[in-house]
Amino acid sequence: MFIDKVNIHVKGGDGGAGCMSFRREAHVPKGGPDGGDGGDGGSVIVRADAGVSSLIDYRFKHHFKAQRGTHGKGSRMHGARGEDLILKVPVGTVVRFYDEESKEAGELIADLTHDGESVVVMAGGKGGRGNTHFVTSTRRAPAFAELGEPALEGWIQLEMKLMADAALVGMPSAGKSSLIAKISAVRPKIADYPFTTLVPNLGVALTSDDYSFVVADIPGLIEGAHEGRGLGHEFLRHIERTALIVHIVDLTGDWEGRDPLQDYEVINSELALYADELAARPRIVVANKIDVPGTEEVCEKLAQRVREDSIAAAGGNEFAPSPIDPKLYRISALTGQGVDALKNAIGTKVRELREAAREQERSTPRYDQVWELRRDARDAAFEVHRLSDGVFRVEGPRVERLVVQTDWENEEAIAYMQHRMKRMGVDKALEKAGARDGDEVRILGFAFDFESALMADDMFAELED
Ligand SMILES: Nc1nc2c(ncn2[C@@H]2O[C@H](COP(=O)(O)OP(=O)(O)OP(=O)(O)O)[C@@H](O)[C@H]2O)c(=O)[nH]1
Ligand SMILES: [Mg+2]
């Protein structure tokens, strides 16, 4: 079975709690604070690995969790960092958020197109700091420590897309599998009935000057494929990421006794209907089964049509570069006639396209890095809502974690949380929203007083954070 899409639940490791402790020495009733920090929780990382060829590992196991950080201890003993959990996926895997309720994929997280490329999908929680961090000139013995930060968790979707350089597309029985068998080492099933190929086959082809490229043999497409008819739809999206489309036309119109020119049009329009940009994707057109007598005339007509389409795709200018190769490649996948010339033409085109892609890659930032930066910004953001007269709610990932990280039984811990909120600008934002002394501020299930909470003297003002 070809597993190309899975939804999994991932959770980072929670941070360990910081420790509240004081040094004990003989003859000293109460020494200075010596509580160690909790360890950071591990993160969940998705990494592309050239040694992994499918998502089968995620078929039955759906929950993955990184290790939590351990708690800090007295005598300044820090907790251990939790180990990251690395989920290996095939090169060419797209990672997205997934909404378990609506069963829909959400925002794109990363497109892992290179071996070793990785993205942190759920960060572990930071370890809480021990009480040694909270000494100020006026408070020598802080009697609290931070709790560990809870980790992020959620559903993500992994989707594997084929990473072929060229995709063989065409009607059922056009000879796609016969061709890939001739130019690579794969041996797919070949038969004279439609839909012989049910899942894509990947093969490595070598040009006569030893340049290698990956070809995909895609299940046959039929009219209406873009809206789900036949088998092709599932696989049309794989074509989305192949640089070159190799369109195979059956000159005999074998399947259902069709007109080859009409077949050619149908495939073109299915590609365009599926995704606009596929219409402009670099393309080579191949006429297959030239060994069958009586196909010469239709072959000439097709050659003429391809030439016209090539010029049209170049904006009507015969001499401008066109995404469609003006030449019709005539082959017999059965006898091998014309196959080497076609293979070399595909190789040459792939090389050109790869070089152009590399050039472009140099000038664009890696998507996963962009995403990670954006997530950080989003994490720190918060919103203030006025619920009713004198009641406000503050919402935002980091603010909310700060609240959960606080020991609400401990006044000093609360005062420290207030200090951090002040640093984040929560008090300013509340003031701007109209909050006044005595108003109620709610964060998650907790409530406190605006005045005492945020306007009070900050006893931790001299601490860095
Ligand atoms: N005479 C002749 N027959 C061919 C040629 N290429 C393929 N065939 C025959 O056409 C039939 C279909 O070939 P396949 O390679 O299975 O076609 P396909 O495009 O992979 O078909 P699906 O997997 O069903 O989409 C088989 O009976 C092949 O032997 C050719 O060049 N000449
Ligand atoms: Mg086939």
On whether residue 412 sits in a domain, the answer given is yes
Residues 207-234, mean pLDDT to the nearest whole number: 79
What average pLDDT is seen over the chain?
A: 87
Ligand 1 pocket mutation pick from 168, 178, 267, 337 by most atoms within 8 angstroms of CB: 178
Residues 81-104, mean pLDDT to the nearest whole number: 92
Ligand 1 pocket mutation pick from 168, 169, 171, 173 by most atoms within 8 angstroms of CB: 173
Q: What percent of the chain has pLDDT over 90?
A: 45
Residue closest via CA to ligand 1's atom 30 equals: 289
Q: Tell me the CA–centroid distance for residue 249 and ligand 1, in Å.
A: 11
Q: Is the Cβ–Cβ distance between 295 and 302 less than 8 Å?
A: no
pLDDT at residue 375, rounded to an integer: 77
pLDDT at residue 231, rounded to an integer: 64
The domain boundary residue, chosen from 133, 160, 187: 160
Q: How confident is residue 288, by pLDDT bands cut at 50, 70 and 90? A: very high
pTM (whole model) above 0.85? no
| Highest mean pLDDT out of 279-293, 392-406, 435-449 | 279-293
By C-alpha distance, which of 159, 112, 158, 161 is closest to 10?
158
Q: What percent of the chain has pLDDT over 70?
A: 91
pLDDT at residue 416, rounded to an integer: 85
The residue that leads in pLDDT, 451 or 182, is 182
Whole-angstrom distance, CA of residue 93 vs CA of residue 88: 10
Q: Which ligand lies nearest to the CA atom of residue 231 in the structure?
A: 1
pLDDT at residue 162, rounded to an integer: 65
Whether pLDDT at 255 is above 60:
no
Quick one: 53 and 137 in the same domain? Answer: yes
Residues 209-229, mean pLDDT to the nearest whole number: 81
Quick one: 202 and 349 in the same domain? Answer: yes
Q: What is the pLDDT of residues 315-343, one digit of tens each?
A: 999 889 999 999 999 999 999 999 999 99
Domain that holds residue 139: 5-160
Q: What is the pLDDT of residues 142-163, one digit of tens each?
A: 888 999 999 889 999 999 876 7
Whether pLDDT at 454 is above 60:
no
Quick one: 202 and 343 in the same domain? Answer: yes
Quick one: 108 and 54 in the same domain? Answer: yes
Q: Which residues contact 6 (CB under 8 A, 6 or more apart)?
A: 55, 58, 59, 62, 157, 158
Whether pLDDT at 39 is above 50:
yes
pLDDT at residue 234, rounded to an integer: 67
On whether residue 464 sits in a domain, the answer given is no
The residue that leads in pLDDT, 345 or 255, is 345
Q: How confident is residue 1, by pLDDT bands cut at 50, 70 and 90? A: very low
Quick one: 260 and 154 in the same domain? Answer: no
Quick one: 244 and 331 in the same domain? Answer: yes
Whether pLDDT at 166 is above 90:
yes
Q: How many domains does the chain have?
A: 3
Residue closest via CA to ligand 1's atom 16 equals: 190
On whether residue 331 sits in a domain, the answer given is yes
On whether residue 410 sits in a domain, the answer given is yes
pLDDT at residue 176, rounded to an integer: 95
Q: Tell me the CA–centroid distance for residue 347 and ligand 1, in Å.
A: 22
CATH code for the domain in which residue 349 is found: 3.40.50.300
Whether pLDDT at 81 is above 90:
yes
Pocket of ligand 1 (CB under 6 A): 170, 172-178, 190-192, 194-197, 219-220, 288-289, 291-292, 332-334
pLDDT at residue 147, rounded to an integer: 92
The domain boundary residue, chosen from 116, 134, 160: 160
Residues 41-59, mean pLDDT to the nearest whole number: 88
Quick one: 301 and 178 in the same domain? Answer: yes
Whole-angstrom distance, CA of residue 255 vs CA of residue 192: 9
